[in-house]
Amino acid sequence: MDNEGLFRELVENSNDILIITNQELKIRYVSSSVKRSYNIEPIRVLGESIFSFVSADRVEAWRECLSKKIETSFQEEISLMIGGTPVYFDVQVSNFLHDRNINGLVLKLHDITSKRSKLRELEKTNQQLDQVIYKTTHDLRAPLMSAIGLIRLAEKASEKEKDRYIGLVAQSLFKLDSLIEEMNNFFRNEKLAVQREKIDIRAMLNDSVAGLHSLLDDNRIQIFIKVEAKNELYTDSVRLRSIIGNVLSNAVKYFDTRKTEPFIRITVSITDEICELRFSDNGIGIEPQYLDKIFELFFRATTQSQGTGLGLFIVKDTVEKLNGTIDVESIPGQGTTFVISVPNQILQPSAVE
């Protein structure tokens, strides 16, 4: 094989796309990788102006660079809609307009969609981490300083008053423990791989309800559980427990103190394909303008609770990690319903049961 044949073989088998234009900047050659990688026939783009693929705000910059009377190269990032999906390329443009043999442009397109997506995800994670660290240092300090202050008061108080102060210290420490647990859930969800385990959903719900007692000011909130299971449930137990715990905690924090019979109703339906969890309460509800914001990091729709604003963010983030969905309906003054669906992994093979 001669050098020209070897070069053509390398170009045609590369995952990168090579484009050559004529002097009018119309495409005269496209490597076959465009067909292999994106199912686009090269002949479809032959004769197209290269500026058809450059965003309008960058056309002048390209023209300025290409107007130079010497051979130049420059880097550019472009986005193309391929099959209805944006695909991002790092483009190296070599100006051979004044070369007697080529008399055009040579463009090498390298797909950076995956790299760009990972970079955006990393930037988002770093931004969230900065927010979490800032918020955590503030929220950890508040209950801790409160407990220290109460202990100092208790040291000087009468025996009768000491019991009251100890109760208040316990509340501060429970709040501190709740915050630390939310932090654990947040970082665990971001770092750990999704597991496949057999779930006893009724036992998990009972455990989660039992863990709510530290949040309850009294025992007026009635919690009802109904499970309809047509099959066993397999999913990530740590993440599912986090979802259940945070939704229940949110319902307790925002229960309506004016109602004589506050309740939380949990209904679970399990099939071969999904596990649907429905949490309904008759709490204070959520104002319509806040429904699309309640899953944002640190957002709180009311000052009634002293929550961190992490709970529902963790719920949505965790549900998405499980490839599930979450919907919410709410009427102010009447209550709120969260409907969460996560895939049942019962039909997926597992190395460890």
Q: Does residue 343 have a pLDDT over 90?
A: yes
SS3 119: helix
Nearest alpha-carbon partner for 109 in 94, 82, 90: 90
Beta bridge partners of 24: none
Which pair of structure tokens corresponds to residue 114? 């995956």
Neighbours of 165 (CB within 10 A): 19
Contact 208, 240 (CB under 8 A): no
Ranges for all domains in the chain classified under CATH 3.30.565.10: 195-348
Q: Are 154 and 165 in contact (CB under 8 A)?
A: yes
Distance CA 223, CA 43 (A): 66
Q: Does domain 3-111 have CATH number 3.30.450.20?
A: yes
Q: What is the pLDDT of residues 89-134, one digit of tens each?
A: 998 888 888 777 888 888 999 999 988 888 887 887 777 677 667 6
What SS3 class is residue 145?
helix
- pLDDT reported for residue 353: 40
**What CA–CA distance (Å, rounded) separates 295 from 287?**
14
pTM confidence score: 0.56
In whole angstroms, what is the distance from residue 144 CA to residue 162 CA? 18
Average pLDDT over residues 343-348: 85
Q: Where in the chain do CATH 3.30.450.20 domains reside?
A: 3-111
pLDDT in tens, 43-64: 988 999 988 888 888 888 888 7
**Which of 220, 281, 202 is CA-nearest to residue 249?**
281
Q: What are phi and psi of 177, to 5 degrees?
A: -65, -40
The total of other beta-carbon atoms located within 10 Å of residue 108's CB is 18
The CATH T-level fold of domain 195-348 is Heat Shock Protein 90 (3.30.565)
Identify the CA nearest to 315 among candidates 327, 329, 300, 330.
327
CATH 1.10.287.130 positions along the chain are 112-191
pLDDT of residue 226: 96
Tokens of 137: 């240092």
Q: Which class does domain 112-191 fall in? A: mainly alpha
pLDDT of residue 352: 40
